[in-house]
């Protein structure tokens, strides 16, 4: 189901010519992106320059068809598993509706995300709540709404949660296991190894001890194990190793406690391409390897195959998004060329946090100028406010030009801040030649209304 309302924009027919970036490897653009007249790119049938002119910049463009296609690809890859969208990547009322319509669950980390899902009537039994430090409000909200699974992340959380369960039915929970597997694109987004804040260690026995404590709480029903290895994991092999270790743990728990847990949640972290040529396996590649290893490991342990859950977030949302900025200044300094734009680390903190890199393309103007290495920087008062280091842009780049940054659908707006009171950008969905605002632009009035100090 695509949107049936919105602003009708110029519809660009699909062209046989692919974007130049697509020739070098996995596309960093939405699958339906096409070259448009005048050096533009159209997404969802709408030229990007037209969107920049109508909605202003910075603006985030989200291709609804791409989001839905990627959600469906995960369901096809693991048809017998539960596919649960990791809401922290980006969440709005429209996204909640899309996930519900595509048959996905939701993985949430806060009472706010829970309440937003509830406001759209999302089935609570298809929601998973986890986090290493759930607040009392998080737990109360989850219990009030009746979420399907709560993931236990520490021993202290077990008694706190059990004390709040009021109904006659126990709350179904999983235990997050730290499997001792290092995987992910940056040390700050690796969450499966020893010595960090998430989960309960498999190596030192904390995970097994937590299971024993949960089994001693009549208000809690343990249904399975959970793990999350990290983000931007570009190979299925770490997931296969996690399957082996967790199935072995399931077998030990059976032998120790006489229980057969029916569920295994492998989390998310599946990689997407931000630069041409970045490795980004299709969901089917992850699905095949995970399923093969599950069958093998369960056979070796004589354990009935548990029902799998996966939690893709970035891999559904990131490739569907394009950020648009307008150039404010171009200058040379220290032998480098800088293009300063009207956004920056307030709407995309990932380069500053993780050294993330992006593809950048000028849209809406054709020239024969040669390309040169240009560093795209933001407008904020930080030397580290760099959006893209040494990207190839036309030598005649000038103030007023619009730059498009693909791969911007996840962990940009959801991590945005109010730094310098510039206001968080709007999010505009496009589909079938139409556009509509999902999130409006944050204004100075929004900031002023929160300031009640006088």
How far is it, in rounded angstroms, from Cα 127 to Cα 142?
Answer: 9
Q: Are strands 321-333 and 336-341 parallel, antiparallel or unpaired?
A: antiparallel
The C-alpha atoms of residue 111 and residue 340 are separated, in whole angstroms, by 37
Q: Half-sphere exposure (CA, 13 Å, Cβ side) for 15?
A: 16
- Backbone phi, psi, residue 232, to 5°: 55, 50
The single residue of 109, 227, 298, 381 carrying the catalytic annotation is 381
* 368 CB burial (10 A radius; 0-12, 13-18, 19+): exposed
Active site residue 109: no
List the one residue out of 7, 20, 16 whose CA is nearest residue 47.
7
Instruction: Identify any residues that bridge with 201 across adjacent strands, giving them in sequence order.
Output: 178
- State the first-to-last Cα distance of the chain, in angstroms, to the nearest integer: 48
> What is the residue-wise DSSP string for 236-253?
SHHHHHHHHHHHHHHHHH
Pick from 37, 25, 50, 28: nearest CA to 430: 50
- Is 384 annotated among the ligand-binding residues? no
Is 312 annotated as belonging to a binding site? Answer: yes
CA distances from 407 to 63, 97, 131, 178 (A): 11, 22, 26, 29
382 known member of a binding site: yes
Q: How far apart are CA 233 and CA 70, in angstroms?
A: 17
Residues 6 or more apart whose Cβ sits within 8 Å of residue 425: 57, 58, 59, 60, 323, 343, 347, 413, 416, 441, 442
In sequence order, the 6+-apart residues with CB closer than 8 A to the CB of 436 are 3, 5, 6, 7, 428, 429
Burial (Cβ within 10 Å: 0-12, 13-18, ≥19) of residue 27: buried
Omega before 58 cis (within 30°)?
yes
List, in sequence order, the alpha helices (H) in 184-303: 206-215, 237-257, 283-301
Q: Is 442 annotated as a binding residue?
A: no
The reply to whether 313 sits in an annotated binding site is: yes
DSSP labels, 61-85: EEEHHHHHHHHHHHHHHSTTSEEEE
- 3-state class of 409 per DSSP? coil
> Residue 311 annotated as binding?
yes
Known binding site: residues? 269, 311-314, 350, 354, 382, 411
Q: What positions carry a catalytic annotation?
A: 381
Known binding site for substrate: residues? 314, 350, 354, 382, 411
Known binding site for pyridoxal 5'-phosphate: residues? 269, 311-314, 411
């Amino acid at each position: 189901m695509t949107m049936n309302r919105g602003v009708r924009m110029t519809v660009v027919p699909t062209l046989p010519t692919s974007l130049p970036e697509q020739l070098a490897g996995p596309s960093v653009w939405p699958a339906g992106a096409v070259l448009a007249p005048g050096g533009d790119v159209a997404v969802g049938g709408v030229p990007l320059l037209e969107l920049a002119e109508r909605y202003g910049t910075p603006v985030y463009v989200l291709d609804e068809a791409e989001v839905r296609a990627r959600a469906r690809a995960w369901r096809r890859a693991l048809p017998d598993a539960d596919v649960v969208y990791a809401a922290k990547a980006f969440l709005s009322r429209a996204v909640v509706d899309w996930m519900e319509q595509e048959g996905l669950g939701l993985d949430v980390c806060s009472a706010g995300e829970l309440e937003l899902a509830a406001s759209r009537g999302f089935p609570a039994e298809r929601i998973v709540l986890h986090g290493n430090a759930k607040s009392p409000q998080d737990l109360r909200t989850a219990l009030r709404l009746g979420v399907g699974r709560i993931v236990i992340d520490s021993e202290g959380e077990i008694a706190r949660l059990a004390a709040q369960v009021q109904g006659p039915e126990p709350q179904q929970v999983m235990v997050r296991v730290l499997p001792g597997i290092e995987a992910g694109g940056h040390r700050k987004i690796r969450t499966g190894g020893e010595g960090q804040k998430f989960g309960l260690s498999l190596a030192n026995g904390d995970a097994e001890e937590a299971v024993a404590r949960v089994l001693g709480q009549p208000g809690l029903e343990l249904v399975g194990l959970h793990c999350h290895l990290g983000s931007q994991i570009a190979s299925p092999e770490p997931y296969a190793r996690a399957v082996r270790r967790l199935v072995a743990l399931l077998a030990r728990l059976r032998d120790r406690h006489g229980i057969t847990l029916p569920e295994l949640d492998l989390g998310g972290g599946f990689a997407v391409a931000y630069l041409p040529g970045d490795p980004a396996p299709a969901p089917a590649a992850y699905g095949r390897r995970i399923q093969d290893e599950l069958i093998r490991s369960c056979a070796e342990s004589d354990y009935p195959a548990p029902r799998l859950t996966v939690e893709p977030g970035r891999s559904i949302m990131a490739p569907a998004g394009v950020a648009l900025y307008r150039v404010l200044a171009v200058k040379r300094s220290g032998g480098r060329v800088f293009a300063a734009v009207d956004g920056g680390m307030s709407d995309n903190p990932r380069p500053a946090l993780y050294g993330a890199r992006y593809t950048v393309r000028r849209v809406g103007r054709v020239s024969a100028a040669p390309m040169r290495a240009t560093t795209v920087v933001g407008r904020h008062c930080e030397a580290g406010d760099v959006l893209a280091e040494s990207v190839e842009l036309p030598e005649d780049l000038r103030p007023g030009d619009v730059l498009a940054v693909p791969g911007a659908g996840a962990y940009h707006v959801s991590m945005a801040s109010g730094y310098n009171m510039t206001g968080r950008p709007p999010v505009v969905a496009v589909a079938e030649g139409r556009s509509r605002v999902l999130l409006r632009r944050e204004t100075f009035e929004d900031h002023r209304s929160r300031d009640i100090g006088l």
